[in-house]
């Protein structure tokens, strides 16, 4: 009897504290409001973790209805600036830590990789493996070449592939990352090499885009199709 009463009390409290669930039978205005709120929440999930949602909703309601804010413009600007500075400092710390960890992983990989048969290490630290020899021209620093390639991270993630796109690319040898510039000048037309490129010869401490993190060691399979006129 007591358990039934407690369950009923909780049910009443729950129904009084929460709005009805929105579904495809709800009024269009409710569906619109829910959809807008959900998309906003999903898109800003990281930021919303750090704020009081009740305060956010209060500010949203007052701002959208033209009510006078309970904070001055200067006070709101200060709060937003402080949050931005704190957030950027946290991101910078995480970025630096990621760079340190990737450098350690990359160094360990290259040190072990150089012990394997068929791996050649140049003075710069570039490592390469000949998958297929070529018999044509060898490009120079200012040569324009046509290549097929596939790039991946040490964990096997493929981040770019002209092979998958079935679309070779043309470029000048000295207009790409250092590891490629050096490696391509070791190849002849028709050759296929695998480059193991340390971060300092790739995208360094900055990285590239969302996939290539700072201090990432990269692996590229490259086929030199042609040294262009």
Which residue among the candidates 22, 119, 163, 177 is catalytic per the annotation?
177
| 220 included as an active-site residue | yes
Judge contact between 158 and 150, C-beta under 8 A.
Answer: yes
| 56 included as an active-site residue | no
Which residue among the candidates 160, 163, 171, 221 is catalytic per the annotation?
160
Phi, psi of 208 (to 5 degrees): -150, 120
Instruction: List the one residue out of 171, 172, 177, 158 whose CA is nearest residue 221.
Output: 158
Report the distance separating Cα 156 and Cα 95, nearest Å: 21
| 38 included as an active-site residue | no
| 160 included as an active-site residue | yes
The residues, any chain, with a CB within 8 Å of residue 26's CB and separated by 6 or more, are 20, 34
| 203 included as an active-site residue | yes
Report the distance separating Cα 11 and Cα 122, nearest Å: 72
Which residue among the candidates 128, 193, 195, 203 is catalytic per the annotation?
203
Which residue among the candidates 30, 159, 163, 221 is catalytic per the annotation?
159
CB-neighbour burial class of residue 208 (10 A; exposed 0-12, middle 13-18, buried 19+): middle
The label of the residue with tokens 């399979």 reads 221
| 177 included as an active-site residue | yes
Q: Give catalytic residues, as residue numbers.
A: 149, 159-160, 177, 203, 220
């Amino acid at each position: 009897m007591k358990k039934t009463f407690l369950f009923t009390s909780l049910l009443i409290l729950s129904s009084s504290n929460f709005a009805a669930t929105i579904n495809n039978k709800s009024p269009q205005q409710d569906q619109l409001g829910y959809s807008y709120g959900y998309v906003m929440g999903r898109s800003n999930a990281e930021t919303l973790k750090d704020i009081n949602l009740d305060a956010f909703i209060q500010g949203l309601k007052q701002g959208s209805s033209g009510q006078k804010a309970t904070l001055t413009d200067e006070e709101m600007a200060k709060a937003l600036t402080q949050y931005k500075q704190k957030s950027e400092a946290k991101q910078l710390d995480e970025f630096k830590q990621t760079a340190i960890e990737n450098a350690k992983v990359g160094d360990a990989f290259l040190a072990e990789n150089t012990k394997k048969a068929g791996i050649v290490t140049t003075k710069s630290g570039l490592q390469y493996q000949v998958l297929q020899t070529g018999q044509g021209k060898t490009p120079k620093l200012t040569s324009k070449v046509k290549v097929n390639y596939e790039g991946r991270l040490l964990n096997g993630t493929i981040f770019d592939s002209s092979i998958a796109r079935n679309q070779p690319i043309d470029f000048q040898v000295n207009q790409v990352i250092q590891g490629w510039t050096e490696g391509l000048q070791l190849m002849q037309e028709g050759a296929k090499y695998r480059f193991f490129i340390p971060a300092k010869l790739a995208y360094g401490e900055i990285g590239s885009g969302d996939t290539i993190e700072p201090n990432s060691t990269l692996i590229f399979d490259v086929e030199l199709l042609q040294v262009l006129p």
